Amino acid sequence: MTDARFAVTAANGDQPPLVVVSGDIDLANVDEFQETMTEACNGSAALTVDLTGVNYCDSAAVRALFSLAAGTTLTMLVRPVGHIKTLLGISGLDRVATVVMRG
Amino acid sequence: MVDEVLGSRPDSRVQASPPTDGTTRGIAAPQGFSVRYSPAGLAGHWHDVAFLADGRVGVLVGRCADGEADGETASRFRSAARSVLLATADPVRTLDGVTESAVSALCAVIDEHNVGYSTHGDASATVSAPEAPYFALDPTDGRLGTAELTPGATVLLCTAPVGPAANALDGSESVHPDEVADEVMTRIAGPGVAAVLYRHPPEPLTITLAAEPASLAVSRGRLRRWLASAGVDTEVGADVLLAVGEATANATEHAVLGANRDVIITVTAALSSRCLRLAVSDNGVWKSVTGLPGHRGHGIRLINALVDSAELVTTAEGTTVEMVKELRP
């Protein structure tokens, strides 16, 4: 079974809400990923999603992130190497959201 | 006859002293090969991995044992042996010119089913097949030795006897050869060595699963382990996992729509001489790519960006995405 963990930190002053994701994301748990982000966002103008602990994600996750980026200012933290950076570049998600290399 | 020489140390001469950072992991090696030098083994040791014109791969390891002239002797012997190997593809003739007792060398030529080899001095070769104990190949001293290579076999070629360090090979067939080579080097005690570890292509992988989201992680885990056993570079492996994952997810999402039967997905992977062939098949009903808005076109575009060629074959029986990923060199 696809296993991911989500840790949500609420907005604090100037800091937008933060969702830290680890594990794998695919069709089996992408709905949970999207709901977690939507709830964390809770009408906030911005959201930060930390993907540095993600081992695998595919275009299902990209769709969820695109849909979120349509309604809020999205910042994603990703590792400077690995397939997630490739995925964001090929999908064009890096043109509608801010990508920050971390770690 | 000369095709190309790859996997050599960057400097065509043998280094006279260890690199200052003491690491040897960065030595480039072709698909399936890992090369390690122990820091104490850099002076007077060398290796070559060469693609021969007939499609086989030749490997040379050697060392010059003592004295100030080590580097020069080793360098002279190395270039002579490499020339003969490239010209003849014959391990025995390659080592014909080695008579110095201070030099130990081994030449191996690997084809689809066998390794042929010749040794001089105490350079060693060890073979390990899946689910069988490893064994050291006998020294040949001027004759040709051969050993069969079964799918997934590992061959360790070393400038000195490896002793009990070869225990690291037992049960290692599912471990990436880079990690096996690290483990061997950790266990080798005593004087320095140069070692070349080769992993023969494993049996092709076939995974058959129900077309449902829960199958994706199962399929991914098995493909990830197979890619490691095949010695596929980590970055290349990540591209392949994502490409196959996209094709599998697409089939899971779309092939079941309108299908009048339980849909089964089959993922296959095979390593041939210099490329990976991957296929994701389903027995469901795919609509044409052009008829689908957005996401599936996106998945196909992603697949095309990740592999060197991808083809979608649709029949009344279902759909297959066939992909090829070229490997180094």
DSSP codes of every residue in B120-151: ETT-EEEEE-TTS--EEPPP-TTS-EEEE--T
Residue B19 pLDDT: 39
- In chain A, which residues have their Cβ closer than 8 Å to the Cβ of B239? 83, 86
Residue A61 pLDDT: 94
Q: Which of A2, A27, A57 is the best substitution to test chain B (most B C-beta atoms within 10 A)? A: A27
Whether A28 and B217 lie within 8 Å, measured CB to CB: yes
Whether B213 and A91 lie within 8 Å, measured CB to CB: no
Integer Cα distance of B221 and B229 in angstroms: 13
Confidence of residue A1 (pLDDT cuts 50, 70, 90): confident
Residue B26 pLDDT: 56
Residue B10 pLDDT: 36
| Chain A residue nearest residue B212, CA to CA | A28
- Phi and psi (nearest 5°) for B63? -150, 155
- In chain A, which residues have their Cβ closer than 8 Å to the Cβ of B305? 86, 90
Q: Which of A24, A32, A56 is the best substitution to test chain B (most B C-beta atoms within 10 A)? A: A56
Closest partner residue to A90 (CB to CB) among B217, B238, B302 is B302
Whether A28 and B216 lie within 8 Å, measured CB to CB: yes
Short-list B128, B43, B59, B52, CA closest to B95: B59
| Chain B residue nearest residue A30, CA to CA | B213
Span A4-101 CATH architecture: 2-Layer Sandwich (3.30)
A1 contacts chain B (CB < 8 A): yes
β-strand partners of B324 = B277, B309
Sign of CA dihedral B68, B73, B74, B76: positive
Reading chain B (329 residues) residue by residue, the pLDDT tens digits are: 333 344 443 333 333 333 334 345 557 788 999 999 887 666 688 899 999 988 899 999 998 876 545 667 777 888 889 999 999 999 999 998 777 777 889 999 999 999 999 999 989 999 999 989 999 999 887 799 999 999 999 999 999 999 999 999 999 999 999 999 999 999 987 668 899 999 999 999 999 999 999 999 999 999 999 999 999 998 899 999 999 999 999 999 877 777 777 899 999 999 987 899 999 999 987 655 444 444 556 788 889 999 999 998 988 888 999 999 999 76
Whether B249 and A26 lie within 8 Å, measured CB to CB: yes
Return the H-helix or E-strand segment holding B269. strand B264-271
Closest partner residue to A28 (CB to CB) among B213, B299, B302 is B213
Domain residue limits, chain A: 4-101
Closest partner residue to B239 (CB to CB) among A1, A2, A83 is A83
Residue B33 pLDDT: 93
Query: Does pLDDT of A67 surpass 50?
Result: yes
ipTM, interface predicted TM-score of the complex: 0.93
Short-list B133, B127, B131, CA closest to B145: B127
How many other β-carbons are positioned within 10 Å of the β-carbon of residue B227? 24
Whether B299 and A90 lie within 8 Å, measured CB to CB: no
Return the CA Rg of chain A.
Answer: 12
Q: What is the pLDDT of residues A13-60, one digit of tens each?
A: 889 999 999 999 999 999 999 999 999 998 889 999 999 999 999 999
Contact B209, B218 (CB under 8 A): yes
Global pTM?
A: 0.88
A23 contacts chain B (CB < 8 A): no
Whether A86 and B242 lie within 8 Å, measured CB to CB: yes
Whether B239 and A87 lie within 8 Å, measured CB to CB: no
Closest partner residue to A91 (CB to CB) among B214, B252, B302 is B302
Q: Which of A59, A65, A66, A78 is the best substitution to test chain B (most B C-beta atoms within 10 A)? A: A59
* Residue B114 identity: N
Residue A103 pLDDT: 79
Contact B187, B168 (CB under 8 A): yes
CA distances to B248, B252, B255, B302, B316 from B287, rounded to whole Å, are 15, 13, 8, 18, 11
Closest partner residue to B217 (CB to CB) among A24, A59, A82 is A24
Residue A2 pLDDT: 86
State the smallest CA–CA distance between residue B239 and chain A in angstroms.
6
